[in-house]
Amino acid sequence: MTFSPRSLVALIAFPVAASGLHAGAVDTNQFQVGTLHVECHGDHGTPIILIPGLASGPWAWQATVDHLQNNHLLYVVTLAGFDGTPAPSGKQLIQQANQSLLNLIVTRKIDKPVLVGHSLGGTLSIQFAEQHSDLISGVVSVDGLPIFPGNEQMPPQLRWQMAELTKAQMYGQSPQAFAAGQLDYMRNIGVINEATAKDLARKTALSDPNATASYMAEDLELDLRPSLPHIQVPLLVISPYNAPDFAAQHISEPAKTGYYKSLLKGAPKLHVLSISPSRHFAMFDQPAIFEAILDKYLDSL
């Protein structure tokens, strides 16, 4: 089965972001751990760490926070450079985020949290589970995969070349060009509703274009499939599907779900569920369905 770069590669590529972190504000419910800005909600129950996607901020999980905070202890993290936070320095930004997530769990003594990630946040959650399954109780990944869709048959050198080209194309964008690109993304890939697309694209423009480019390049190079058997906790992956987006390729909803399963082959406790009609931000297009799936997953642990 062949998935075009426009349809599936873009689905993971440019999840975006952000409003009002105010990282410099004094707030006992907000703090910094490594390259992660952390917001806390709730004071009891199963701990859950919510990780937004590429260029996204806490706004991506606001409805989920509202839904869960009365019965769960929530930590909403934002990667450096997204949602108005300072841009990161150095290289290996995904690895920096992974280490910061480890530090968050260890230093704050968070007991067996569930990781819930969207897009890049989902990929980061899968990577963390491969390395530290003993520290968590489960992973929910919303359209985040162990390898960028469409790249699964590429050799590492070719993935690196694609990553470098993508970074060069994205790096150094003006704020206007970056904002225009996010609006196009949201309208065509991000969400179904036009008003929601405009709202999220407006928030998107507050993220750092160069940080977005760097994370994006690293994501394009990544291949976590060899270590999927190391994940010893239940892994739930959400596969959004909006039929009109795949009509030209004659890709059915079961076919897309099956494709995602093939990319995740080897994870011992895997479940892949489709949400439709929905685009990349499934929690915006179908909040009630997403929350019901999440509740059922949490109850099963």
Q: What is the mean pLDDT of each run of 10 residues along the chain (301 residues)?
A: 39 34 49 97 96 96 97 97 94 97 98 98 98 98 97 96 94 94 97 98 93 96 98 98 97 98 98 98 98 98 95
State residue 13's pLDDT score.
Answer: 40
In the Cβ-directed half-sphere of 176, how many Cα atoms lie within 13 Å? 0
Q: Which residues contact 239 (CB under 8 A, 6 or more apart)?
A: 143, 256, 257, 260, 272, 273, 274, 275
Give the span between the Cα atoms of 17 and 57, in whole angstroms.
6
Give the span between the Cα atoms of 235 and 139, in whole angstroms.
5
State residue 22's pLDDT score.
Answer: 33
Per the domain annotation, does 272 fall within a domain? yes
Give the span between the Cα atoms of 204 and 56, in whole angstroms.
7
Per the domain annotation, does 197 fall within a domain? no
Per the domain annotation, does 105 fall within a domain? yes
Give the span between the Cα atoms of 133 and 122, in whole angstroms.
15
Q: How far is CA 204 from CA 166, 183, 198, 230, in A?
A: 19, 8, 10, 34
Minimal CA–CA distance to 132: which of 93, 104, 91? 104
Per the domain annotation, does 45 fall within a domain? yes
Q: Identify the three-state secondary structure at position 84.
A: coil
User: Which tokens is 216 given?
Assistant: 């994006």
Sheet strands side by side (includes 270-275): 30-33, 36-41, 72-79, 46-51, 114-118, 138-142, 235-240, 270-275
Q: Which residues contact 58 (CB under 8 A, 6 or more apart)?
A: 21, 39, 50, 52, 65, 76, 78, 83
Minimal CA–CA distance to 151: which of 294, 283, 13? 13
* Tokens 């065509």, residue located: 188
The CA-to-CA distance between both ends of the chain, in Å, stands at: 34
Catalogue the long-range contacts made by 100-104 (C-beta closer than 8 Å, 24 or more residues apart). Answer: 100/33, 100/34, 100/35, 100/36, 101/36, 101/49, 101/51, 101/77, 101/128, 102/128, 102/132, 102/135, 103/33, 103/34, 104/33, 104/34, 104/36, 104/38, 104/49, 104/75, 104/77
Parent domain of 53? 5-12+22-151+225-300
Instruction: Look up residue 187 and give its DSSP letter.
Output: I
Per the domain annotation, does 255 fall within a domain? yes
Phi, psi angle pair for 31, to nearest 5°: -160, 170
Give the span between the Cα atoms of 242 and 259, in whole angstroms.
15
Per the domain annotation, does 42 fall within a domain? yes
Structural domains of the chain, count: 1
Give the span between the Cα atoms of 239 and 260, in whole angstroms.
7
Per the domain annotation, does 166 fall within a domain? no
Per the domain annotation, does 69 fall within a domain? yes
Phi, psi angle pair for 9, to nearest 5°: -60, -40
Q: What is the domain-level CATH number for residue 59?
A: 3.40.50.1820
State residue 205's pLDDT score.
Answer: 86
State residue 24's pLDDT score.
Answer: 33
Give the span between the Cα atoms of 211 and 223, in whole angstroms.
20
